[in-house]
Amino acid sequence: MNISIVGTGYVGLVTGVGLAEIGHHVTCIDINEEKIRKLKKGISPIYEPGIESLILKNISKERLDFTTSFDEGIRFADTIYLAVGTPTGIDGEIDMTSFDKASNEIVDSINGPTIIVIKSTVPVGTNNSLQKMMNERAQHKVTVVSNPEFLREGRALSDLFEGDRIIIGSEDKEAIKTMERINTPFDIPMVITSPKSAELIKYASNAFLATKISFINEIANLCDLVGADIQEVSFGMGLDKRIGSQFLQAGTGYGGSCFPKDTLGLLQIAKESGMKFQLLQEVIKTNSKQQKILVKKLLTKMDTINGKKIAILGVAFKPNTDDIREAPALRIIEELSNQGALVYAYDPIVEKSNKALPQNIRMVDMIEEALNQADAALIVTEWEEIKKLKAEDFKKWMKCPIIVDGRNCFDPNEMVQLGIYYQSIGRGGEKKSLVLK
Ligand code: UDX
């Protein structure tokens, strides 16, 4: 099939490369010239393990190309995927600006019967509205299908090729047949449903995963009060197949470009439908509280952090990505800086030049630079490189080994034996020990 993908972000690029890999001819369109120039050379604008080799492979097989021109990009397409961002707007609503702009760009370039696939995460009812617009303005028959993505950053290719299900939202038999033909080579179960159900499956799935995380974080906070161990509690819970062990790791709260956006988005969808989604409001509030917990724990040990050197290990919202959108580290760094701390942050791949980084921190190239003579260290992202550190390293490098571990990377007993003040999430509260210096 000839497929065009509008938008080459985390979703559009991975989807385009994946569709080319299973044999389709794919043209990816983006308005960003620099991004397209690099993609033509096989350079990915996003950090996604394995993506660049697949880009180069499919370019060489002439199944994948890139352009900034909508006309050129969709001229030969019989299926156009809309994969543009639908971020959170200024007051929490779903910002459809890019989506609407892209829809208007393509409607005038459609030159034959076309299927438009909504890959972006969009409010319930968007498929129907776009179908109506296309019926009114397109010169040829256009059928709009919903096909939400479930890709996790850092493992998007495995989620694409080994996903649990492909959701297809349409009532048009021909369009359903085409989507089945496009997706059959993935060999993943396909669920055919209504457009509205497909749109809601996406939001509900992300909101449920966020709910699991906020729930286990609250259980972790209870563990600290009662002296239980969250890793043992989570393990015991997760063996129940009805609960499942995934997304049951307590930490410093969820971040990223999706959970925060999609939980707020679902809240808006409910509100506009006249429903107060109380549970989801609490999930969001709990997460916001959890993102502050590391600083709270730190301040139970240090009377003041004004003028103190604080090391932040990990800035990306999770390992194996360079994405810092809504990363807990950003809120933590802001809080520390507001209280006068000197923040030295380390992350294996987040670029120092990332404009979303706060100005008043020092991004260092090596973990030792962050820890050297630090008064305290906060573990925020569980990168392998950080998890490999030994308790002795902290003792050797830090002025005063106070550690607050937001991702439970280390063994509390090892830390206590070395006289390190160590706090983590949900592991029986403060490990009391004298800081031997
Ligand atoms: C998520 C969904 O998983 C994916 O299906 C959807 O398409 C996009 O949003 P992503 O945001 O890339 O993917 O990251 P994910 O791996 O889901 O983690 C989200 C956040 O939850 C991260 O901040 C992570 O640290 C946190 N998390 C995850 C936990 O705190 N505990 C867990 O057990 C799992």
In a domain, 299, yes or no: yes
Ligand 1 close to Cβ of residue 259 (< 6 A)? yes
CA of 128 to the centre of ligand 1 (A): 29
Together in a domain, 326 and 387: yes
Residues of the chain with pLDDT under 50: 432-437
User: What CA–CA distances, in Å, run from 21 to 153, 165, 167?
Assistant: 19, 18, 20
Note whether 105 and 21 are same-domain residues. yes
254 lines ligand 1 (CB under 6 A): yes
79 close to 3: Cβ distance less than 8 angstroms: yes
Which residue's C-alpha comes closest to atom 33 of ligand 1?
Answer: 247
Is the CB of 247 within 6 Å of ligand 1? yes
Q: Whose CA is nearest to atom 9 of ligand 1?
A: 258
| 431 domain-assigned | no
Distance 152 CA to ligand 1 centre (A): 7
CB of 318 closer than 6 angstroms to any ligand 1 atom: yes
On whether both 285 and 297 belong to a single domain, the answer is: no
- For residues 22 and 165, membership in a common domain is answered with yes
Range of the domain at 119: 2-193
Any known ligand binding at 410? no
Asked whether residue 406 is assigned to any structural domain, the reply reads: yes
Q: Establish whether residue 347 lines the binding site of ligand 1, counting it when its CB lies within 6 angstroms of any ligand atom.
A: no
Max CA separation in the chain (angstroms): 77
* Domain-located, residue 88: yes
State residue 217 phi and psi, 5-degree precision: -70, -40
Kindly state whether residues 66 and 117 are assigned to the same domain: yes
Q: Say yes or no: 320 and 244 in one domain.
A: no
Give buried/exposed letters for 1-21 (b at 16+ CB in 10 A, else e). Answer: eebbbbbbbbbbbbbbbbbbb
Question: Looking at residue 90, what is its pLDDT?
Answer: 84
18, 158: one domain: yes
Q: Which pLDDT belongs to residue 376?
A: 98
**Is there a binding annotation on residue 181?**
no
Which numbered atom of ligand 1 lies nearest the CA of 317?
23
Contact 408, 424 (CB under 8 A): yes
Does residue 312 contact residue 328 with C-beta atoms inside 8 Å? no
Ligand 1 mean position, distance from CA 218 (Å): 17
Residue 435 lies in a domain: no
Please report how the helices 195-226 and 126-137 are oriented relative to each other, as an axis angle in degrees rounded to 10: 150
* Residue 387 belongs to domain with CATH number: 3.40.50.720
* Pairing relationship of beta strands 114-118 and 79-82 according to DSSP bridges: parallel
Residues sharing a CB contact under 8 Å with residue 72, sequence separation 6 or more, in sequence order = 27
Number of other CB atoms surrounding residue 364 within 10 Å: 18
Give 219 Cα–ligand 1 centroid separation in angstroms: 19
- Asked whether residue 7 falls in the same domain as residue 151, the answer is yes
282 & 297 share domain: no
Domain C-terminal end among 261, 290, 319: 290
Q: Does ligand 1 have an atom closer than 6 angstroms to the CB of 152?
A: yes
> Does 276 fall in a domain?
yes
The answer to whether residue 95 is domain-embedded is yes
Is 291 marked as a binding-site residue? Answer: no
Instruction: Count the domains in the chain.
Output: 3
Distance from the alpha carbon of residue 257 to the mean position of ligand 1, in angstroms: 9
Separation of CA 96 from chain center: 19
Shared-domain flag, residues 72 and 184: yes
What local confidence, expressed as pLDDT, does residue 429 receive? 60
Which atom of ligand 1 is closest in space to residue 205's alpha carbon? 5
pLDDT computed for residue 206 by the predictor: 98
Q: Which of 28, 223, 258, 409 is catalytic?
A: 258
Of 10, 47, 209, the residue with max ligand 1 atoms within 8 A of its CB, to mutate for a pocket test, comes to: 209
Are 153 and 24 members of one domain?
yes
Dist CA 145 CA 179 (whole Å): 9
The pLDDT value recorded for residue 430 is 55
Domain end position, chosen among 193, 216, 242? 193
Whether residue 437 is contained in a domain is answered as: no
> Any binding-site annotation on 321?
no
- Cα-to-centroid distance, 254 and ligand 1 (Å): 7
Look up 400 and say whether it is catalytic: no
Residue 30 marked in a binding site? yes
> Are residues 143 and 71 part of one domain?
yes
Q: How many helices (H) and strands (E) does the chain have?
A: 18, 14
Question: What CATH number does residue 221 fall under?
Answer: 1.10.1040.10
Looking at 241, 263, 290, the residue that finishes a domain is 290
How far CA 402 is from CA of 218, 261, 379, 405, in Å, comes to: 24, 34, 11, 10
Known binding residue 318? Answer is yes
